[in-house]
Amino acid sequence: MRTRRVGASGLEVSQLGLGTMTWGGDTDLPTATDLVTTFVGAGGTLVDTAPAYGGGAAEQMLGRIMRTTLNREDVVLATKAGFGVRDGHQVIDTSRKAMLNDLAGSLRRLRTDHVDLWQVHAWSDTPLDETLAALDQAVRSGMARYVGVCNYIGWQIGTAATWQEAVPDRNRLVSAQVEYSLLARRAEIEVVPALKHHEMGLFAWSPIGRGVLTGKYRTGTPRDSRGGRKHFSWFVEPYLEERSRAVTDGVARAAEGLGLTPAQVALLWVRDAPGVTAPLLGARTTEQLQAYLGLDDVRLPEPIIAALDDITGGPNQGRAPAHRVDADA
């Protein structure tokens, strides 16, 4: 699998990342082990997790896998801090104390002395300088190599990045992680331009439209899907309306003509979109994951890209056709 540099930093990752949001819930340890070994075996390096995933179970599982099956050096390990569930309620706390406590807990569960990328999970009402000071402390102490943010909108990214760039001894933000797919192109309005200006990378979560772009919901909600599970139905429901069906139908038609699956078409559109460093794959089974691997030399033809752009909101202003190479799928 090809690799890409994260923004202007020295961090290099595989052009596809493996997400772990379902670990500890819908994904058990044997399945998670198969997912990671398959991913790394295909040349993947970036594995993204968080204390909030499975209440810490995802990190525990990943830590065990790295100890028993893989070497720590096999993966570029990314985790987050500042978001969790307490007493059944979602809590965002990016104070210095909460952030560093989260990091200490992550390192303990992951069974490592450092993470390669440590990210603020969400914006909060904590003074920004306090949150960012925690990132600096983590890098100075050696507990994190690089730092970034998640789920920030454009002005928040710009503010945080500018603060870190203002003084030489602060650590620049190298990346932002946001939702981005053919069903969620909001990032193109402000986030992508902000990242380009500050030379930061973009990690796209839910590149398959929360699973909807696979086409599995075109005739109903399968019981074994995320949408069919009570604890995940809220995640899928926003993309089950009429406009999303039209987009899904368009992706399916493109896939038929190219000899690809709808999920592969959706992934390729995101992977090669301007500014994207790596889409994060939320595969729950090895079979799902394998369908995304081995696509290094596959590119969507320009007319297909233009058609998909048109049915999902119009041209992507940052896309440069000259950099595209059509390939026989």
Which residue in 202, 158, 197, 207 sits closest to 176, CA to CA?
202
Give the gyration radius of the chain's Cα atoms: 19
For the question of residue 53 being annotated catalytic, the response is: yes
> For residues 77 and 143, what is the distance between their CA atoms, to the nearest angstrom?
12
Which residue in 77, 54, 53 sits closest to 65, CA to CA?
77
Torsion of CA 37, 41, 47, 49, to 10 degrees: -10
Tokens 């939320």, located at residue = 282
- The amino acid occupying position 109 is R
Which residue in 243, 201, 229, 235 sits closest to 10, CA to CA?
201
Alpha helices in 176-236 (DSSP H): 191-197, 233-236
Distances (CA, A) of 13 to 4, 46, 146, 311: 6, 6, 12, 31
> For residues 154 and 93, what is the distance between their CA atoms, to the nearest angstrom?
21
Positions annotated as catalytic residues are 53
